[in-house]
Structure 1
Amino acid sequence: MSVTIYHNPHCGTSRNTLAMIQASGEDPAVIEYLKNPPTRARLEALIEAMGISPRDLLREKGTPYRELGLDRPDWSDSEVVDFMLAHPILINRPIVETPKGTRLCRPSELVLDLLENPVSSFTKEDGEVVAYDPG
């Protein structure tokens, strides 16, 4: 199975998501998007594949979100994408792509539905145990 994660190694949710992917037997392509930001076409394709708006992908915490005035609702989708391209830290993470779909994995256990052989149980960095039943 082909798995790609847009990852920030400084983010606990992203680290947990990557660990769940690996614990499920996958060797994902890891893109540290802060070092290697997506192109406009790639970012727009990811947003479309997730079925969300660019604004739904904006990260507020630990970013220049307010300083840039992104708390104003009048920015167009294209302008929001412009901001994310200029400041990749504004792109929320982790984004995971598999043949089963593309998703912003917040919380990290959302990745399990995208995997071929997801782990049935996983302990996150903070000690929280995730039990997965594909039911």
Structure 2
Amino acid sequence: MSITIFHNPNCGTSRNVLQMIRDTGVEPEVVEYLKTGWTADQLTGLFAAAGLTPREAMRTRGDLAEGLGLLNEGTSDATILSAMVEHPVLVERPFVRTPRGTVLARPKETVLEVL
């Protein structure tokens, strides 16, 4: 089974989900998106597969999203998506993609839906 985790090694939830995947006996492809960055097409596809909008997939903890005005009601998905490309940390984590589907594994047990 091919599994990809879009991972931030500094995030406890992301580390826990990675271990949950490994506990199934599968070594996933690990994409450290803070190093590789995102394209708008990658994010659009990932969010569509998970059934989420950019706003729903945005990390709101910390000051960045608020500082960029992304939490305002009138902020468009296109603006949020553009900010996510420029600032990869704005994407909530971890996303996991498997042949059974794609999820934002938050809470971490959500990953069990696709394993």
- Cα deviations by residue, 1:58-102 (Å, 9 ceiling, x for unpaired): 001135011111120111111110010111110000000000000
The answer as to 2:102 corresponding to 1:102 is: yes
Q: Could you say which residue in structure 2 is the equivalent of 1:92?
A: 92
Aligned partner of residue 57 in structure 1, secondary structure: coil
Q: Could you say which residue in structure 2 is the equivalent of 1:36?
A: 36
Aligned residue type for 1:36: T
After TM superposition, the structure 1 = structure 2 runs for residues 106-117 of structure 1, keeping only pairs within 5 Å, are 106-115=106-115
2:69–2:75 Cα contact (<8 Å) kept: no
TM-score (norm 1): 0.83
Identity of counterpart residues, as a percentage? 48
Instruction: Please report how far the alpha carbon of residue 38 of structure 1 lies from its aligned counterpart in structure 2 after TM superposition.
Output: 2.1
Aligned partner of residue 35 in structure 2, secondary structure: coil
TM-score (norm 2): 0.96
Greater share of residues in strand = 1
Question: Partners of 2:81 and 2:112 in 1: how far apart?
Answer: 28
Instruction: Please report how far the alpha carbon of residue 106 of structure 1 lies from its aligned counterpart in structure 2 after TM superposition.
Output: 0.2
Aligned residue type for 1:50: A
Instruction: Give structure 1 regions of 4+ aligned residues with deviation exceeding 3 angstroms.
Output: none
Aligned residue type for 1:73: E
The answer as to 2:10 corresponding to 1:4 is: no
Q: Could you say which residue in structure 2 is the equivalent of 1:55?
A: 55
CA RMSD of aligned residues (A): 0.9
Instruction: Please report how far the alpha carbon of residue 35 of structure 1 lies from its aligned counterpart in structure 2 after TM superposition.
Output: 0.4
1:63–1:89 Cα contact (<8 Å) kept: no
Aligned residue type for 1:33: Y
Greater share of residues in helix = 2
Instruction: Please report how far the alpha carbon of residue 52 of structure 1 lies from its aligned counterpart in structure 2 after TM superposition.
Output: 1.1
| Unpaired stretches in structure 2, ≥5 consecutive residues | none
Question: Partners of 1:63 and 1:92 in 2: how far apart?
Answer: 14
